[in-house]
Amino acid sequence: MSFWNRLGEIICRIPGGCVLVDHVVEAVRSAFGTAEERRHAAFSISMIALSAKMAKADGVVTSDEIAAFKELFEIPEGEKRNVARLFNLAKQDVAGFDAYARRMRGLFDDGSEIFEDIVDGLFHIATADGALHEDELAFLRQVAVIFGIPEAAYSRIESRHVVPAEGDPYLILGIERSASNDDVKRHYRRIVSETHPDRLIARGVPAEFIAIATQKVAALNDAYDRIRRERAFA
């Protein structure tokens, strides 16, 4: 049975009217035997449920936010109904997102990078309608805290999404202004390499979600180009 088939079965067994966190967590533990499978399932369910809850944080789920969610996931046609069911259950209200985030964090063995990937995706959805509501921003900050994402890493993610064309390119790249040109080049090449789809998949991001890598690389490229023009190096 494929990953999506098993994930679909878990979603089908969720009682109507609410998303039971413990039910989902235990179902993931029992349905997926390997750590890699559990990471993929935990990532996917986290993104689906937290996307819905975050989109509802400002009181309304817009068509732009739903479209942004669909941009991030390449969901098999036969599983779209199950994914929509979990999304619709979760978006009923924002209550319980913190407990959900805490329990989902426990499904991952290590690594803040995958938590950063989740928050990255949530930012993509939050800004899809052209505005970041203060309640959405508060939601994102709290999820980042629960996931243990360092403040500097969170600021880099935020800067890529809020005003990427006007934001501090050094903050977006995560490097000090005092860094030499050679250091800037090495740092840029390293973080772009870390954003390669193969690296994301290796740390637990399902292949269906790698669209976020394209957006992140575009922001990093733009920041690097601005620094390069500012410093006039090749």
Tens digits of residue pLDDT in 97-111: 887 788 778 777 665
Contacts by 229-233 with C-beta closer than 8 Å and gap 24+?
A: 230/169, 231/181, 231/184, 233/181
161 vs 8: CA distance, rounded Å: 31
Residues with Cβ within 8 Å of residue 94, at least 6 apart in sequence:
53, 54, 56, 57, 139
Q: Cβ–Cβ contacts within 10 Å for residue 90, how many?
A: 25
Q: Domain coordinates of the chain in residue numbers?
A: 3-231
How do the pLDDT tens digits run along the chain, 234 residues long?
A: 566 677 777 777 766 555 556 677 777 777 777 777 777 777 787 888 888 888 777 777 777 877 777 777 777 777 778 778 777 777 776 667 887 788 778 777 665 688 888 898 888 888 887 778 888 899 999 999 999 999 988 988 998 887 666 678 898 888 999 999 999 999 999 988 888 777 777 776 766 667 777 778 888 899 999 999 998 876
Report in angstroms the alpha-carbon separations of 65 from 69, 91, 121, 158.
Answer: 6, 12, 11, 17
Tens digits of residue pLDDT in 160-198: 887 666 678 898 888 999 999 999 999 999 988 888 777
- In three-state form (DSSP H/G/I as H, E/B as E, the rest C), the secondary structure along the chain is CCHHHHHHHHHHCCCCCCCCHHHHHHHHHHHCCCHHHHHHHHHHHHHHHHHHHHHCCCCCCCHHHHHHHHHHCCCCHHHHHHHHHHHHHHCCCCCCHHHHHHHHHCCCCCCHHHHHHHHHHHHHHHCCCCCCCHHHHHHHHHHHHHHCCCHHHHHHHHHHHCCCCCCCHHHHHCCCCCCCHHHHHHHHHHHHHHCCHHHHHHCCCCHHHCHHHHHHHHHHHHHHHHHHHHHCCC
Q: What per-residue confidence (pLDDT) applies to 94?
A: 62
